Structure 1
Amino acid sequence: MTYGRSIKLFFDGGCRPNPGPIECAVVRKGVSHYRHDFGEGSNSDAEWLAAILALEVAAQNGDRDIMLLGDSTLVVTQANGTARCRSPELETHRTRFTDLAAGFDRVRIRHIGRAQNLAGIALARLHPR
């Protein structure tokens, strides 16, 4: 199959305190998408839910070939299959991610630095210091 240009989606999640209320952001083509209704969890839960949200945003926009960019080494390595999930909760998130990813022509997920993560920057703007 010939692939066109991938759509980039930046994702980030967090909670304050950890564990605490989860918030997630996804940035697609300069537009920020936020979710604050995921309940309570850990930072790892938040990062996984942000990656899942990125897939949902891509699906809503009809994207078929996507590149997910995030600063969570845990999520990127587990999603790529180079690290195993060490808890049932993380395995549940990975399974949900894999199931959603199967609906696309191509999904790639890559680690980027925190300073390059537009979704992390968007989340940080919600909490000025």
Structure 2
Amino acid sequence: MATRTKVYFDGGARPNPGKIEVAVFAKGQATIRRDLGTGGNGDAEWLALIEGLIVAQGLGLEDFVLLGDASNVVAKANGKMKCRDADAPYLERFRALAGETVPRVRYIKRFQNLAGIALQQTHDR
């Protein structure tokens, strides 16, 4: 029996608003991107979720869960919170990339987020 693969995602803007960076951690490997334009932390979290989906699809994963620490993005991606204004295009992009099978998206605490830990380690203390 195959186990569900955990795909962690996290994003941030430095400063906020500022340059967006995202990290995805899946199958023991961190993927970090810093070339995603400018915006706020909310934009960065959405782009991290989308990047997580792209990474999962690129790895050919069929049974996976996307794990992130941005509770509002997780709630909106799962349809448990209304998605308005600036967030709507991100949700549309996420759903378009997902196709008919919308992946599981779950909230985890910040200290559990391996993508956030990987992203933090790239910055000077």
TM-score, length of structure 1 as denominator length: 0.91
RMSD: 1.5
C-alpha deviation, 1:128, in angstroms: 2.5
SS at match of 1:81: coil
Q: Distance in 2 between matches of 1:33 and 1:84?
A: 30
- 1:22-71 CA-to-partner distances (Å, cap 9, x unmatched) read 00000001100011111001100000000000010011111112100000
Match of 2:99 in 1: 102
Match of 2:87 in 1: 90
Match of 2:41 in 1: 43
C-alpha deviation, 1:90, in angstroms: 0.8
Match of 1:23 in 2: 21
Structure 1 unaligned segments of length 5 or more: list them.
none
- Over the matched positions of the two proteins, sequence identity in percent amounts to 50
Moved over 4 A (4+): none
Structure 2 unaligned segments of length 5 or more: list them.
none
C-alpha deviation, 1:5, in angstroms: 2.5
Q: Distance in 2 between matches of 1:17 and 1:4?
A: 41
Q: Distance in 1 between matches of 2:3 and 2:103?
A: 12
Match of 2:111 in 1: 115
Count residues in correspondence.
125
TM-score, length of structure 2 as denominator length: 0.94
